[in-house]
């Protein structure tokens, strides 16, 4: 039985070590009968790197409704065709985008957030453009954007992650929280206990001002990561920590393979959960110098150069507390 098989493998994983993985914001349109270049590049990179786990964030329209799959209006076949390609890959785990306005429920109600979770969890099978083949389009987790970083909102995120857990049921899933920066010391233990990973830094490589990088953005360097600035205060939580870097281009320091490899070795050496560097804004995967295929190849090199991080309690395990089942079991063709 699949669940039992999964649990057995999860138990094995909990005693092993894990390497730095990819948290890929794939916020672009998938294309129609033929994938658009950004999606195709992502699919190709995932296929070319079966040992790397790719958490792929899907975001049709600031969430699932409108142009993706909708409980009211049904699924758009461009999306079903693209998602079916990802779901078929055992090392691609799709996460549905949900924004939460930093826990300000006057701006974004609990009911609206839960409705988005319901929508994502309801995607199951749907016709695609592939000769109208009905394919598996299930997503396997939620990416909570704009996570409140303070103790004032931890109860909200406990409730939302608990709700996601009950909604996804026995299906393998992950939750990732994105405060986009540090969480307060007195909120850290609680927030980390609710999820698979937290993005503790989302910044830029270049200091040039852009939409992603407002004036005053401090350019990324793994060497500057420290407890309270990109790393958790509790070093034991590094294995659940992600960093995202945008606008990897330009000079000083030059954005090229050598600098990216050095950065990825640094991030892997810190024992972090996952990362991604975009070479332009947050949604582009085909731009030089590090399109997604090059990024993944360099991340693989970095992983083999450093020791894997220790498995964190809960990672890969199912059925304990708020633990998420984030890793696919071995030998299975795709997700269900």
Ligand X SMILES: *[C@@H]1O[C@H](CO)[C@@H](O)[C@H](O)[C@H]1NC(C)=O
Nearer to ligand X, 93 or 285 (CB): 285
Nearer to ligand X, 122 or 297 (CB): 297
Shortest distance, position 48 Cβ to ligand X, whole Å: 10
Shortest distance, position 162 Cβ to ligand X, whole Å: 8
Residues 101-130 close enough to bind ligand X by CB under 6 A:
110
Total binding residues toward ligand X, as defined by CB under 6 A: 8
Question: Minimal CA–CA distance to 24: which of 52, 50, 48, 65?
Answer: 52
Shortest distance, position 62 Cβ to ligand X, whole Å: 22
Shortest distance, position 300 Cβ to ligand X, whole Å: 9
Nearer to ligand X, 157 or 335 (CB): 157
CA 260 – CA 262 distance, rounded (Å)? 5
317-323: which pairs have CB atoms within 8 A and are 24 or more residues apart? 317/10, 317/11, 317/13, 317/14, 318/6, 318/7, 318/10, 318/172, 319/7, 321/193, 322/158, 322/161, 322/162, 322/165, 322/193, 322/194, 322/195
Residues 203-262 close enough to bind ligand X by CB under 6 A:
257
Nearer to ligand X, 42 or 298 (CB): 298
Quote the distance between the C-alpha of residue 45 and its chain's center. 15
Shortest distance, position 54 Cβ to ligand X, whole Å: 17
Nearer to ligand X, 159 or 310 (CB): 159
Q: What are phi and psi of 83, to 5 degrees?
A: -65, -35
Shortest distance, position 168 Cβ to ligand X, whole Å: 18
Nearer to ligand X, 151 or 189 (CB): 151
Residues 150-169 close enough to bind ligand X by CB under 6 A:
155-156, 159
Q: What is the DSSP string of 273-291?
A: SEEEE-SSSTT-SS-SS--
Q: What are phi and psi of 214, to 5 degrees?
A: -65, 160
Which member of 294, 306, 308, 311 binds ligand X (CB under 6 A)? 294
Cβ neighbours of 286 (radius 10 Å): 17
Binding site for ligand X (CB under 6 A): 110, 155-156, 159, 257, 294, 297-298
């Amino acid at each position: 039985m699949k669940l039992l098989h999964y649990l057995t493998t999860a138990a094995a994983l909990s005693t092993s070590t894990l390497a730095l993985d990819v948290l890929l914001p794939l916020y672009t349109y998938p294309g129609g009968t033929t994938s658009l270049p950004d999606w195709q590049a992502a699919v190709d990179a995932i296929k070319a790197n079966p040992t790397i786990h790719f958490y792929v964030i899907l975001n049709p329209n600031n969430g699932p409704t409108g142009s993706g799959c909708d409980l009211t209006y049904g699924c758009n076949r461009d999306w079903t065709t693209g998602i079916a390609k990802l779901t078929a890959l055992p090392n691609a785990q799709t996460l549905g985008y949900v924004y939460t306005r930093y826990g300000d429920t006057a701006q974004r109600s609990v009911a609206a957030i839960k409705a988005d979770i319901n929508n994502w969890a309801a995607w199951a099978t749907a016709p695609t453009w592939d000769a109208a083949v009905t394919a598996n389009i299930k997503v396997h987790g939620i990416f909570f954007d704009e996570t409140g970083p303070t103790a004032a909102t931890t109860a909200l995120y406990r409730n939302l992650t608990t709700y996601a857990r009950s909604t996804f049921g026995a299906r393998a899933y992950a939750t990732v929280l994105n405060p986009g920066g540090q969480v307060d010391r007195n909120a850290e233990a609680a927030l980390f206990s609710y999820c698979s990973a937290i993005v503790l830094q989302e910044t830029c490589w270049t200091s040039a001002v852009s939409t992603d990088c407002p004036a005053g953005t401090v350019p990324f360097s793994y060497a500057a990561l420290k407890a309270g600035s990109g790393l958790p205060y509790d070093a034991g939580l590094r294995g659940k920590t992600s960093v995202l870097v945008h606008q990897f281009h330009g000079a000083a320091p030059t954005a090229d393979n050598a600098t990216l490899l050095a950065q990825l070795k640094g991030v892997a050496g810190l024992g972090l959960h996952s990362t991604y560097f975009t070479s332009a804004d947050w949604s582009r995967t085909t731009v030089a110098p590090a399109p997604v295929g090059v990024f993944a190849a360099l991340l693989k090199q970095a992983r083999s150069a450093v020791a894997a991080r220790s498995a964190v309690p809960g990672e890969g395990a199912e059925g304990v507390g708020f633990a998420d089942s984030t890793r696919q079991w071995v030998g299975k063709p795709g997700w269900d």
